[in-house]
Amino acid sequence: MAEAQGRISADWLFPLGASAALTAAIEGRFDRDRQLLTQIAGVHTAFAALDEALDVRPELWRGVPGAAGVRLADGALPARINRVATAAAGAVAEVACAAKISAVLTVGPTAAVSFPSSRLIVRFDSVTEATITIDHETVTVQADGVWTVLTARTCGEVGLEAPENAAGVERIPALDDFLIDVDGVSSVITLPPHFALLGRSPHGPESTQLRQALAVLARTNPELHAELRALPVRFALLDRGQHRLSLTATGLPDVIYTNLVDPLETVDLIVHEYHHLKLDLLAETVPLLENPAAPVIAPWRPDIRTADGVLHGAYVFANVARAFDPIMALGRPSAQGRRRRAAWRAAVLRAVELLRESDARPTEAGQQLLDGMAAAARAWIDEHAEVDQHELRWATAEVERHVREVALGTRPEPRHMIGVLAGHHEN
């Protein structure tokens, strides 16, 4: 594979669908997480049951959101391991049932058990310990003296069915091939102070908005949409709050956290966070920077960042810009939209220059990414030099002023352009 020799294929720069290189990298990630699962299988019955199920049907690994949290549990304290295993227990039961193995899992304390592939949550009246009994084609959840019996779907499919109107069972809306993780492994991480999980299944208008955003991507960016399905991406919804919010979390290689503002902003957040996940996947395959901790000014932040953080920011903004080209082509872009697309390119170009000038020391693969992002930004700027001349002049001047002031140590608050560019992302 080209990545093994230190070079990368073109599909790492911009989406080309579920390509051979991307698929190989995803399979490699599955293999690494599967090995990690085997190493920690003895620390909790949930991990042991999942390890046994995957011995029977290894292809079911891609159906487990967040790799069952094995990266979060590895080397953690017992309380943390128990919390991760408890959050993952429903997903484990789904896979174990599809593999037709038997197991008994004791989990908790918890107020719910989430079954993401089944799009079900079994909720309890109090925070308590629960017992999950997996017996070939049934899964029984017992807590507070209440028993809930779920039955396997046909043909070994991952997923369980609940009786209609079953007490304590909450249903999660379907999103075609995508899953919304509610109270599963996505609930384990510690969020930044101004972030909060939605903490429930999305209501009709909320799930409709996410579905519309994915439909826009399928229509305008089919290659990108195919990559989202190939990973596959799972969604953890954040409380709406006052601003657009999104992030990805170390240890959950397939989860996008996002709130829902409006469909086009949701498209922006999905594309942005997916490319963080994609670049993380590439970095697991081939090194990109010899000194990722080198300090570098970010053209979109009021503080000094690491080279790795600036590379991530440039990569996601380059890809957001690329994704919005066909979206904006569907109609006449607004003044804000034109500013935004100019700002993306100006910031990416300057970020590439700053990375090259720093002590980050890009590898051959990293240099390929920088060259590709810069070339794409320059080509767009050349093509739009006349029609967007005012926006480009403004964006370039704002980026330069921002970089200059950060270098002088004045640490300005993000200007209007920076807010338009990055919203409230944590890059």
In which region does residue 183 sit, left (phi positive, over 0), alpha (psi from -120 to 50) or beta (all else)?
A: left
Q: What is the pLDDT of residue 123?
A: 96
* Calpha distance 336→339 (Å, rounded): 5
Q: What is the pLDDT of residue 159?
A: 92
Q: Which of 371, 282, 285, 279 is nearest to 4 (CA)?
A: 285
Q: What is the pLDDT of residue 418?
A: 52
Q: For the beta carbon of residue 138, count every other beta carbon within 10 angstroms.
A: 13
- Contacts of residues 35-41 at CB distance under 8 Å and 24 or more positions apart, as own/partner, are 36/67, 36/70, 36/71, 36/74, 37/67, 37/68, 37/70, 39/74, 40/70, 40/73, 40/74, 40/81
Q: Please report where in the chains the tokens 């789904």 appear, as a residue.
A: 94
Phi, psi (degrees; rounded to nearest 5) at 131: -115, 130
* Calpha distance 241→326 (Å, rounded): 29
Q: What is the pLDDT of residue 155?
A: 74
Report the length, in residues, of the chain.
427
Is the distance from CB of 334 to CB of 348 less than 8 angstroms? Answer: no
Q: Give CA 256 to chain center in angstroms.
A: 3
The first and second tokens of residue 254, run together, are: 């397939």
Q: What is the pLDDT of residue 269?
A: 96
The first and second tokens of residue 113, run together, are: 């058990």
Q: What is the pLDDT of residue 156?
A: 74
What is the model's pTM?
0.94
Return the DSSP state at 55: H
* Calpha distance 122→130 (Å, rounded): 11
The first and second tokens of residue 55, run together, are: 């011995």
Q: Give CA 141 to chain center in angstroms.
A: 29
Q: For the chain, which ranges sit under pLDDT 70?
A: 1-6, 241-242, 411-427
Give ∠ CA 97-98-102 in degrees, rounded to 5.
Answer: 30
Q: Please report where in the chains the tokens 């890809």 appear, as a residue.
A: 319
The first and second tokens of residue 140, run together, are: 């029984």
Q: What is the pLDDT of residue 2?
A: 43
